[in-house]
A = this chain, B = another copy of it.
């Protein structure tokens, strides 16, 4: 395992650019290199100065890296792993910031050489915005970051990567990719699907009467459709189960409403309310409100 001297980030959108900015701010002596396959993105990243060096050759970009971080849509990982496999230096850590983890682990196992260390990362931070212009060097401050490992993952690589995200401000947890994908299906992917369904169930004319509550509730639906398509397609089994659970809960509320069962309706609303209050308290206590 190599000492961190150079970190290369592939993909210079909101997350990738925030990582290179955060590296420059917090890791003295570590060189940040950024790569994007799009010339317009590279120009923007150079103009904004998000990394020490922006490169246009992915092989050269990773050739001297001690850590390579993929920050592109999930379903590009397989192809990127193939592109960089032969250029990665021995002992290099390879990770990604994708929102699902089972597929990336599978691709890494199949494609990456045995002399590099793959660990999955999922810093739970970001916004509905996209692009380097929204990058922030403190984006990861106070965020949970889940590292994913299998039986063959190097404990030392996990430690190094955990330290890296901690320096960027994250609270780090380690779990298997299966558990990660089950949890995130419920707390992140299902909400996205639910809000999309909610908006699509409404007519544009009616939406004009929406208030502040709806604006806030629906914010996540403004996230980039291509990135979310990849998330949903790589975690469809878990999300499908989540949708089934949610439909059941909707029908419970529907039944209580239609039978005029005030007590049951109040209890269902109060349960949701209490769970959210407990969540807010937990987030305040652990300072993971990022």
Interface residues of A in 117-131 (CB under 8 A from B): 124-128
Nearest CB of chain B from residue A118's CB, rounded to whole Å: 22
A187 to B209, CA, bound (A): 7
A270 to B223, CA, bound (A): 9
Q: In the complex, are the beta carbons of A233 and B265 less than 8 A apart?
A: yes
From B184, B202, B226, B229, contact of A209 by CB (8 A): B184
A183 proximal to B (CB < 8 A):
yes
Q: In the complex, are the beta carbons of B215 and A217 less than 8 A apart?
A: no
On whether A262 and B233 interact (CB within 8 A), knowing A195-B217, A201-B245, the answer reads: yes
A239 — which chain B residues lie within 8 A by C-beta? 254, 257
Q: In the complex, are the beta carbons of B242 and A201 less than 8 A apart?
A: yes
Q: In the complex, are the beta carbons of B211 and A272 less than 8 A apart?
A: no
Q: In the complex, are the beta carbons of A193 and B253 less than 8 A apart?
A: yes
A199 — which chain B residues lie within 8 A by C-beta? 271-272, 275-276
A229 — which chain B residues lie within 8 A by C-beta? 262, 265-266, 269
A278 — which chain B residues lie within 8 A by C-beta? 204
Q: In the complex, are the beta carbons of A243 and B250 less than 8 A apart?
A: yes
A247 — which chain B residues lie within 8 A by C-beta? 247, 250-251
Q: In the complex, are the beta carbons of B201 and A246 less than 8 A apart?
A: yes
A143 proximal to B (CB < 8 A):
yes
Nearest CB of chain B from residue A280's CB, rounded to whole Å: 7
- Residues of A in contact (CB 8 Å), total 90
Nearest CB of chain B from residue A192's CB, rounded to whole Å: 8
A201 — which chain B residues lie within 8 A by C-beta? 186, 190, 242, 245-246, 248-249
From B191, B209, B262, contact of A146 by CB (8 A): B209
A172 proximal to B (CB < 8 A):
no
Q: In the complex, are the beta carbons of A213 and B198 less than 8 A apart?
A: no
A222 proximal to B (CB < 8 A):
yes
A215 to B279, CA, bound (A): 9
Q: In the complex, are the beta carbons of B208 and A279 less than 8 A apart?
A: yes
On whether A198 and B246 interact (CB within 8 A), knowing A125-B211, A217-B220, A279-B210, the answer reads: yes
7 A-B pairs besides A190-B201, A216-B220, A243-B250 with CB distance below 8 A are: A183-B206, A197-B272, A200-B271, A208-B286, A212-B289, A218-B279, A229-B262
**A–B complex contacts, Cβ < 8 Å, 28 sampled:** A184-B209, A186-B201, A188-B214, A190-B201, A191-B198, A193-B254, A196-B268, A197-B249, A197-B252, A197-B253, A200-B272, A201-B248, A204-B275, A207-B275, A208-B279, A208-B282, A215-B279, A216-B219, A217-B217, A222-B276, A222-B277, A225-B270, A229-B266, A233-B262, A240-B254, A240-B257, A243-B253, A246-B250
